[in-house]
Amino acid sequence: MSAPDGLVEQLPVLLVVVPLGAGALVAALGHWAPRILADALAVLVAAVCTVGAGRLVVAVGGGRVVTWLGGWTPASSGSGPGGGQSVGIVLVADRTAAMLVVSAALLVLAGLLFSWRYLEETSATYHALMLVFLAALSGFALAGDLFDAFVWFELMGAAAYALAGMRVEEPRSVFAAVEFGVVNTLGASLTLAGITLLYARTGELALAYVGERLRSQPADALVGFAFVLLVVGALVKAAVVPFHFWTADAEAAAPTPVCAVLSGAMVAMGVYAVARWWRVAFDGVLPHPTAEHLLLVLGAVTALVGAVMCVYQRHIKRLLAYSTISHVGVALLGVGLLDEHGTAAAIAYLVGHACTKGPLFLGSGVLLNRYGTVDEHALFGQGRGRWFTFSVFALGGLGLAGLPVLGLWWGKATLEHALSVAGAPWAVAVVVVAGALTSGSVLRLTARVFLGLGADPRSRSSRDGDGSEEPEEPEEPEEHGPIGPRAAALMVAPAWLLLAAGVGLALVPWVHRAGATAGAVFADRHGYVEAVQHPHRVLAPVVGHEETVWTGTGLGLAAVTLALACLVAAAALWAPRVRALPWGRAGARAARSVVGGLHAVHRADLPEQVAWLLAGAAVLAVVFAL
């Protein structure tokens, strides 16, 4: 620990307690206080949390801040075999956790600023829920013991279900929230069962102690089974195939600022949990190659399925939701390497993704407010001359392909490097394809909506007599009709705030150094255990080995991704002409037959989604049992 001062010692606790308390206060005041008070207080708290978490990122350096709450420090000697030294609640803040808290707080801040005018008629319950959501996200990132993590996990879920179903007058939104709630609660039950089995085996709850106990004896089937149960809940939250069916519906239906937080922060926590739990508790206990192959396969399948589904969406928020699934898969590839560089790159990728996908969701909210729809075809050419919103979509779209000045660039370049060093060039190809398809989809809709480029999709569907083209049901506006230009500026500004943060991630060398240190600290299991066992001992700070992101390979891959993205966008915009080419029609037919199957699977109803979840969990369990 680099001798942190008193405030920094308190920061991890404050980052949870302040938003939680403020949420309760806002909910209590909401009944009589004017709405502006709720807005101002919530925005203030989110801003304070962002700054506080940023302070933690800087101050924690190459060390950790460990807090055993209420003086329940671990007993110095165990009470016999099966021990039980660590029954207290422990928060462990290292740089990785703090970085995730910053991005969560920044997204909540942007969401609250956005909804100041956007959700003007919503009661203060919305603000309270957003703050509770932030507290749960922070608590989960910082939790150092399993049960505590589970409670934050469930609170995160409960706040998210309520936020997703907030528009009670919109039945599709409410049903999406129920789907979201049932599937995620089932996943959380599996996680709790996994925690219980680990507690039964080790008698410990603090992750560091669980890991030490597991390492002191040979692993058996029970440990593998517990790991699978634990991880399935996290993978459900992370929207990893085949646990991802709730995502598109929830993110299409939730109010737009909530979508930004769901897709940027909550989903990232699922990936983070897998990485953290593996590193501290299961690394060296369970077979390394099994976990590596499993996570790489899950990541690749998720990245590709999400990207393909993304291309075939015309509902902009669903498109962005599938794009989120795809990018989570890419981040999971980094985690799947199970090494220092892969994990560091994955976290960088997730933080960069938050700064890229957040603005896109907020931009779709601007469209929904303005035109009452987010159907790409209905919006054809409607956005001409709306340069501010256009630039958000254009930059967001280019950012998803890893344009070397925007948020995702840092994570994408380091991830590609880590994957190729680890000898997985096929995974680099997956990263490029996922980036190209998701970016191409956003560029396509940008060109259609704001520039009116390509064939008018409305006339085409009637001319082709294409039976599959159903008219979209009109979207219920999330609030009253279009708002004035000054209010609209307040809606675009938070998107720009996030994009600017992304530029900072991509260009500031300090960030890259800090990220390398974060990865080294994250990977340092012994340091983690020692810091948790002896919170007041001063340990030598870990220094990461920073590699420059500005390599020729990285820039070349970014150029390839961007070129492919433009190709994807152009092929979609001028689809009739592509079909007129000699091979065009056969290609379109082949693509349609593949995608038709994927589409059929993705129309899963709630019981089918549950069946997919259980089947996926069973497959993972079998893989670890063999």
Partner 1 sequence: MLSWLPYAVAGWIFLVGCYGLVTSRHLVHTVVCLNVVQSSTYLLLLAVGWTRGGTAPIFGDIGRSRAVADPLVQAMTLTDIVVGAAVTALLLALTIQIAKRRGTVDPRALRSFEQESEE
Residues that bind partner 1 (CB under 8 A): 84, 87, 147, 151, 154-155, 157-158, 161-162, 165, 168-169, 171-172, 174-175, 177-179, 181-182, 185-186, 189, 192-193, 196-197, 199-200, 205, 245, 248-249, 252, 311-315, 318, 444, 466, 468-470, 472, 572, 575, 592, 599, 602-607, 609-611, 614
SS3 312: coil
Q: Distance between CA atoms of 280 and 527, rounded to whole angstroms?
A: 10
Minimum CB distance to partner 1 smaller for 18 or for 311: 311
Instruction: Output the smallest distance, CB 82 to partner 1, in A.
Output: 10
Instruction: Output the smallest distance, CB 89 to partner 1, in A.
Output: 11
Minimum CB distance to partner 1 smaller for 555 or for 606: 606
Minimum CB distance to partner 1 smaller for 135 or for 346: 135
According to DSSP, residue 315 is labeled B
Minimum CB distance to partner 1 smaller for 17 or for 174: 174
Instruction: Output the smallest distance, CB 459 to partner 1, in A.
Output: 15
Q: Distance between CA atoms of 40 and 377, rounded to whole angstroms?
A: 37
User: Residue 307's CB: how many other CB atoms inside 10 A?
Assistant: 27
Tokens of 244: 């991802």
Minimum CB distance to partner 1 smaller for 44 or for 222: 222
Instruction: Output the smallest distance, CB 116 to partner 1, in A.
Output: 26
Instruction: Output the smallest distance, CB 616 to partner 1, in A.
Output: 13
Minimum CB distance to partner 1 smaller for 55 or for 172: 172
Q: Distance between CA atoms of 12 and 95, rounded to whole angstroms?
A: 12
Minimum CB distance to partner 1 smaller for 34 or for 171: 171
Q: Distance between CA atoms of 462 and 519, rounded to whole angstroms?
A: 53
According to DSSP, residue 73 is labeled P
Q: Distance between CA atoms of 298 and 290, rounded to whole angstroms?
A: 12
Contact of 185 with 252, CB cutoff 8 Å: no
Instruction: Output the smallest distance, CB 281 to partner 1, in A.
Output: 17
Parallel, antiparallel or unpaired: strands 65-68 and 90-93: antiparallel
Instruction: Output the smallest distance, CB 449 to partner 1, in A.
Output: 15
Beta bridge partners of 286: 283
Distances (CA, A) of 454 to 404, 457, 527, 573: 27, 8, 57, 5
Minimum CB distance to partner 1 smaller for 423 or for 468: 468
According to DSSP, residue 145 is labeled B
Instruction: Output the smallest distance, CB 277 to partner 1, in A.
Output: 18
Q: Distance between CA atoms of 64 and 68, rounded to whole angstroms?
A: 13
